[in-house]
Structure 1
């Protein structure tokens, strides 16, 4: 009778055992796929941010070369804003994705870029 009781318990408990095993397998596969998908997402958005910052940097370097010989007071204000933009770009933490103020600093760079653009519209 004890053997039939063990067999009955194994049948009754099979559902719970398979549920636990299925959960564990699904969790492990989901975790693995999540890491892969997270890396792809991070790479894509990191490339977009890098491209945007590179565009701002190229703009700033080109204008710095163009205004290098200008010495009027109006041009010195433009150069000061331009140098501020370049400094912000150079301090941007490209290789630290865990930097907690990354988006805040990026927004500041965007704002400074817009300010510099508005100064150069009058040329």
Structure 2
């Protein structure tokens, strides 16, 4: 029988290092699998998070656009109709809040609190104008 001489890759290793490699191989494989799974999970989660954020942002944008259009419409008609200063001030506040609403991610701005301010101002304006301008899509929004 002929023997095949394979190069010994562990020539410089101590026997204890070889045994450690054998014993720790399961941990190494586990760590490698964890790292691969983590990378895959992060990339897939980012895609799902992006789509969720995009759709929720579009819904919020539609709601704020609705409020802005009504407020600006009433402000433009304020010359023909006699609105009190309180109503004009409230409509102007709605327009100002919406125009200052961040269109990009800003860490120091709570968009939920800002949205609540705008909704409250809009409800107050509707009460002062004695109109029912309920945004029908708001029932479908959930954060």
Tell whether the structures are fold-level matches, with TM greater than 0.5: yes
Contact 1:93 1:99 in 2 (8 A): no
User: 1:35 maps to what in 2?
Assistant: 46
Q: 1:41 to 1:99 in 2, by over 3 A?
A: farther
Offset from partner CA, 1:1-45 (integer Å, 9 cap, x none): xxx998876654432222111111101111111221221121112
Q: 1:97 to 1:112 in 2, by over 3 A?
A: same
- 1:96 equivalent to 2:105? Answer yes
| 1:95 positional shift | 2.6
Where structure 1 has 5 or more consecutive residues not aligned to the other structure, the ranges are none
CA distance in 2, matches of 1:93, 1:77: 26
Q: 1:95 to 1:12 in 2, by over 3 A?
A: closer
User: 1:80 maps to what in 2?
Assistant: 89
User: 1:114 maps to what in 2?
Assistant: 123
Query: What is the RMSD computed on CA atoms of the aligned residues?
Result: 2.6
TM-score, structure 2 normalization:
0.69
Q: 1:40 to 1:97 in 2, by over 3 A?
A: farther
User: 1:105 maps to what in 2?
Assistant: 114
TM-score, structure 1 normalization:
0.78
Q: Hey, which of these two has a bigger chunk of helix by percent? A: 1
Pairwise mapping of residues 66-77 of structure 1 onto structure 2 (< 5 A)? 66-71=77-82, 75-77=84-86
CA distance in 2, matches of 1:83, 1:9: 73
Match of 1:22 among 27, 30, 33: 33
CA distance in 1, matches of 2:16, 2:85: 92
